[in-house]
Structure 1
Amino acid sequence: MIDYKYSAISSSGESVSGSIAAASKSEAVRALIEQSMSPVEVQPAGKPARKNRVRNRDLEALFSNLADLLDAGVPLVRAIELLVSRSRNNGLTPILNDIRTQVANGTRLSEAMASHPKVFTSFAINIIRAGEEGGFIEDSLRNLAVFTERSEDLRGRILGAIAYPVFLVVTGGILFLTMMVFFVPRFQIIFERLEKRGELPLPTIVLLKFSALLKNDYLYVGVIGIIAGFALWKWLRTEGGRVYRDHFLLQAWGIGKIIRQYAISRFCRVLGTMLKNGVPIMASLEISRHVTGNIILSNAIAKASESIASGRSLAAPLNQSKQFSEELIELIRVGETTNRLDDILMKAGDSLERQANRRLDLYVRMLEPCLLLIMAVLILFLLLALLLPVLQSAGSLT
């Protein structure tokens, strides 16, 4: 017999945990069912289960399924129990169990989720809180599911776009360093006589010096590189470093406009979603400014929220910051005038994302041949630097 630790839901709806002896895991599950309990997790004692990371896809399914169950008239506590029994992510299961227990004891769903800040963002919590207060929690959960799905699709699109260029850079870099460390030094002996006579071409001298540096002083080069990288990493974590980094990213040629469009697209979509779900504009601005992921844009939005608090419009201070396009400013101005700011912001976010996607696709298509061209130039330089002395020697013999 083996001791198994379990967590389950009793027939009265309470969460219970303990241990049970059984010949196998399936027998332990069968024994719990015979005791009128619904097993949630069963693991051998002394062998803790490895908790899976809660991904955005898991949260999307959670919000969507919970909205469907509530829309069908299932009580909230029972709906969470059903989600626990269906959950295949043992990282999310204990969190749902805790939320179910809190809700059963009278805690609001938003407050129960707020006790798990590493899983549920302040954006999601505020959306759910607004739905609870306005009586449209099903719509709030469904909007959250859609937003989470689109955010994950965007993340996957960006990672997919840069995967091949990164592969080319890494592969090309490894190939070049391998040739410089193991292949080029073999020519050093061949070129010694020409070097003493001062007849080596400049490209060959540069190549041999660089190869010798990598081969003989790799330890110093590595230490200096690590120290410089660590110092840069520490500086970029400071307030001044982050401001400089974010300013540089927004102004970078080509990629800067894509980064700006994606950041403002997230801001527009989050702000529009929160306003549509009844979250007050000041709280919406405070939360949505952080989703830009850029200090420059976040500070511009913070100044705009101060203007809102003073009773002025949102469009004017955003226009003064010079960080937002004239088209977006005009759309916000129209939205404030017609009282349709939430819909206009969500449509503007969609439009900016489509523009950024098209621009990203174009740059990725241009980047691949450019990287191949750079690799070809490096290899051509290496070959010419090695062949020029041979050609010069052959010419002198003739």
Structure 2
Amino acid sequence: LEGQTKDPALKPVIAQCKKDVKGGLSLTDAFSKHPNVFSRLYVNMVKAAETGGILDKILDRLAAFLENEQEIRGKIKSAMIYPILVLIFALLMVVALLLFVLPKFKEIFDSMNVEMPGATKFLFALSGFAQHYWYIGLGAGFGGYMFYRWYSKTDTGGRQVDLLKLKLPVVGELVQKMAISRFSRTFATLIASGVPMMRSLEIVGDTSGNRVIAQTIENARNAIREGQKISTPLAQSNLFPGMVTHMIDIGEETGRLSEMLSKVSDFYDSEVENAVKTLTSLIEPCLIVTMGGIVGFIAVSIMAPIFKLISNIN
């Protein structure tokens, strides 16, 4: 592996792991020294595999899990590339109009003493602000972004941001489906690999990527400590649909929890793919209509004084 790896960041990690294993450490201990490379999910699955003597099977299962995760991310990224490019192009076009095109028209209208309607005055005022005070807008945007990053990392702020993501129209449904898919797939993989239930839920909560989902999973851990089922707090949270909690309940009753979770994961993988397609199909016409409205407003605001000037000349 060390010889085949071309990644400059991964190569020394593999070399160090090889050295540690030769020095008498277990593979789990060697991997746990590099948390930025080997996640807690990875380390705990390897630990369970070493304990049960089924390292080859667990690594195959882990590889399939990571491939599935990568495939889903790839589909989402490829689906979002076109709308993002259209949005960037639209923003650049608006900036070019404000900074370079509209000032020329303003000079012409001012030189001719053309009486301008309110919409045209507003447009030229906006263009003048963008031309002379662009750094204020840039600074405000950068400051807002940095504040968002800081606020989303705090416990209270992060919880509110994650809750907002779940409640956003259209986007919230996609975030929820992605979270359920990841929860089911990760939980199923850990349980099937022999990782204890409580430990599995802890890892699933840590890797959920959403504080609201993580708190729900923590509630499930507390419920298990009190002798309850996993499905009970999940159903009470209103984040997991009835189909999901019923499947988990059946899995608990029949001792086939991993199998049921895998079925839930497969179902929500396809749901995520369909949700992404729906989102992109909604974004594209919205962008077109929005840009058409902006360009139309600019065109009407510019043409109105011109028509008035022509009328006065006639």
Give the shorter-chain TM-score range.
over 0.9
Task: Indicate which of 342, 355, 358 corresponds to 2:258.
Answer: 342
Instruction: Tell me, in whole angstroms, the C-alpha distance in 2 between the residues paired with 1:233 and 1:279.
Output: 34
Gaps of 5+ in 1: 1-82
Q: Which residue of 1 aligns with 2:203?
A: 287
Report the CA distance between 1:273 and its aligned residue.
0.6
1:129 aligned onto 2:40: no
Q: Which residue of 1 aligns with 2:278?
A: 362
1:117 aligned onto 2:35: yes
Secondary structure in structure 2 of the residue aligned to 1:190: helix
Residue by residue over 1:244-295, the C-alpha shift from the partner in whole angstroms, topping out at 9 and shown as x without a partner, is 1101100000011111101111111010110011110000000011222100
Alpha-carbon contact 1:308-1:314 (below 8 Å) kept: yes
The structure with the largest alpha-carbon Rg is 1
Task: Indicate which of 127, 139, 142 corresponds to 2:60.
Answer: 142
Q: What does residue range 182-193 of structure 1 map to in structure 2 within 5 Å?
A: 182-192=100-110
Residue by residue over 1:194-241, the C-alpha shift from the partner in whole angstroms, topping out at 9 and shown as x without a partner, is 878xx4222211111110111122233333333333333322222222
Instruction: Tell me, in whole angstroms, the C-alpha distance in 1 between the residues paired with 2:282 and 2:147.
Output: 33
Secondary structure in structure 1 of the residue aligned to 2:37: coil
Q: Which residue of 1 aligns with 2:244?
A: 328
Residue by residue over 1:152-175, the C-alpha shift from the partner in whole angstroms, topping out at 9 and shown as x without a partner, is 111111111111111111111111
Q: Which residue of 2 aligns with 1:33?
A: none
Check 1:229–1:101 CA distance in 2 against 1; reply closer, same or farther (3 A cut): closer
Report the CA distance between 1:192 and its aligned residue.
2.9
Report the CA distance between 1:145 and its aligned residue.
0.5
Task: Identify, as 1 or 2, the structure richer in helix.
Answer: 2
Q: Which residue of 2 aligns with 1:165?
A: 83
Q: What does residue range 197-276 of structure 1 map to in structure 2 within 5 Å?
A: 199-276=115-192
Alpha-carbon contact 1:271-1:288 (below 8 Å) kept: yes
Instruction: Tell me, in whole angstroms, the C-alpha distance in 1 between the residues paired with 2:57 and 2:3.
Output: 24
Secondary structure in structure 2 of the residue aligned to 1:384: helix
Secondary structure in structure 2 of the residue aligned to 1:85: coil
Task: Identify, as 1 or 2, the structure richer in strand.
Answer: 1
Query: TM-score under structure 2 normalisation?
Result: 0.95
Q: Which residue of 2 aligns with 1:352?
A: 268
Instruction: Tell me, in whole angstroms, the C-alpha distance in 2 between the residues paired with 1:202 and 1:222.
Output: 26
Instruction: Tell me, in whole angstroms, the C-alpha distance in 1 between the residues paired with 2:271 and 2:131.
Output: 47
Gaps of 5+ in 2: none
Instruction: Tell me, in whole angstroms, the C-alpha distance in 2 between the residues paired with 1:176 and 1:270.
Output: 44
> Match for 1:369: what amino acid?
P
Secondary structure in structure 2 of the residue aligned to 1:271: helix
Report the CA distance between 1:103 and its aligned residue.
1.8
Instruction: Tell me, in whole angstroms, the C-alpha distance in 2 between the residues paired with 1:282 and 1:363.
Output: 36
Check 1:108–1:394 CA distance in 2 against 1; reply closer, same or farther (3 A cut): same
Q: Which residue of 1 aligns with 2:230?
A: 314
Number of positions where the alignment pairs a residue of Structure 1 with one of Structure 2:
314
Residue by residue over 1:317-368, the C-alpha shift from the partner in whole angstroms, topping out at 9 and shown as x without a partner, is 1111111111101111111111101111011011111111111112212312
Instruction: Tell me, in whole angstroms, the C-alpha distance in 2 between the residues paired with 1:282 and 1:195.
Output: 77
